[in-house]
């Protein structure tokens, strides 16, 4: 890669599309003045992501329990003799 060029990340493109001025300030090394709000937003999103992962794991467990129940019923009725 030639000297002076740098990689543009997808998050930078998103920042540029959302607010070109904020993107430019960040490129100049300026820090946002609302650090506390940004930290609160980050912690909120981390908590939300954790909940989403938990829900995904619970869905997998529910499908596994359903599959096992159906397998048990299939085996139970396969070996049961009807008089």
pLDDT in tens, the chain (83 residues): 456 787 888 988 988 898 999 888 888 988 888 899 999 999 999 999 999 999 999 999 999 999 999 999 999 999 887 76
d(CA 55, CA 47): 12
- How much is the pLDDT for 83? 63
User: Token pair for residue 69?
Assistant: 């129940």
Where do the structural domains in the chain lie, given as residue ranges? 47-83
26: left (phi over 0), alpha (psi -120 to 50) or beta: alpha
């Amino acid at each position: 890669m030639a000297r002076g060029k740098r990689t543009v990340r997808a998050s930078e493109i998103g920042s540029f599309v959302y607010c070109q001025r904020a993107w430019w300030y960040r490129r100049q090394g300026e820090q946002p003045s609302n650090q506390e709000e940004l930290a609160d937003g980050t912690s909120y999103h981390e908590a939300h992501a954790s909940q989403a992962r938990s829900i995904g794991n619970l869905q997998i467990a529910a499908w596994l329990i359903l599959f096992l129940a159906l397998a048990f019923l299939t085996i139970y009725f396969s070996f049961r003799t009807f008089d």
